[in-house]
Amino acid sequence: MSQRVAFKQVDVFTSAPFNGNPLAVILDAASLTDRQMAEIARWTNLSETTFVLPAEDAQADYRVRIFTVDGELPFAGHPTLGTAHALLEAGLQPKRAGELVQECAVGLVKLAIAADGSLAFAAPAAVMTPFASDRVGAALNSADIDEQLAMSVVDMGIRWLLIPMRSAEAVLAAQPQVSELAALLQEAGVSGAMPFGPLHDAAEQFEVRGLLVENGSLTEDPVTGSANACLARWLASQGHTTNYAVRQGTRLGRSGRLQVRFDGETIWIAGQTVTVIDGTIRL
């Protein structure tokens, strides 16, 4: 007899379908084995698939495991918002009004529920390490690296290399060279690189890209919650604690949007999420 599990596919960091970063959510994974989770994640072929489980920590509303097609992640940003959206839409009642607490491999992550339906997660703590390399210009095929600002490796469960560039135009003009980028990522010991640059005369203040090399090929993430959380932590360490907005996915024809809010020691990464597919998976 086949088994059916509730499933949603949502688009994260967008208010309109097909403009953000898609995520598959299995709403009740208590009966699934690790092997089944891995098989489902490979089948969806999305950057991440999440599996919701009963919380083990009494403070948490739910527990989530986050899988890529290749393995499991301790934390990721757009899966955090997308899973919360899917659960609330399915009728989850938070333990505390206006907030959720997600349990995952990095610990407890708090989410805020806004009146307009947008969600925000509190950026986890991060370890920041200054980084320098002669490979960066070749990796991005660009001479517009902003040498006035120091590059940094930021570790938030996922490790990102933050690369400041002189302008948003420079970020969009970068044409990564796969072999050089792969060597740079290996040298830095990171999952991906995030070039970022300032936007002027726009509703957003930064243009960013999330660049990875997977199986020898360049992959660009449409909208990246964890990398933006790393950037926010890095900016705070530089004394930048003014709220700002981010544009990502432009080179991919997407229009991902994030808002970053500073509230004392807490940094909130916020965005809209919409459901695109709602149904069941047959196992």
Per-residue model confidence as pLDDT tens for the chain (283 residues): 578 999 999 999 999 999 999 999 999 999 999 999 999 999 999 999 999 999 999 999 999 999 999 999 999 999 999 999 999 999 999 999 999 999 999 999 999 999 988 999 999 999 999 999 999 999 999 999 999 999 999 999 899 999 999 999 999 999 999 999 999 999 999 999 999 999 988 899 999 999 999 989 999 999 999 999 999 999 999 999 999 999 999 999 999 999 999 999 999 999 999 999 999 999 8
* CATH number of domain containing 92: 3.10.310.10
Which residues, other chains included, contact 188 with Cβ-Cβ below 8 Å and sequence gap of 6+?
131, 133, 153, 159, 161
Q: At how many degrees (to 10) do helices 77-89 and 225-237 cross?
A: 120
* Type of residue found at 179: S
In a shared domain, residues 92 and 137: no
In a shared domain, residues 25 and 101: yes
Q: How many domains does the chain have?
A: 2
Q: Which residues are catalytic?
A: 48
Q: Which of 233, 200, 227 is nearest to 211 (CA)?
A: 227
In a shared domain, residues 158 and 106: no
Q: Is residue 260 part of a domain?
A: no
Q: Which of 122, 129, 130 is nearest to 104 (CA)?
A: 122
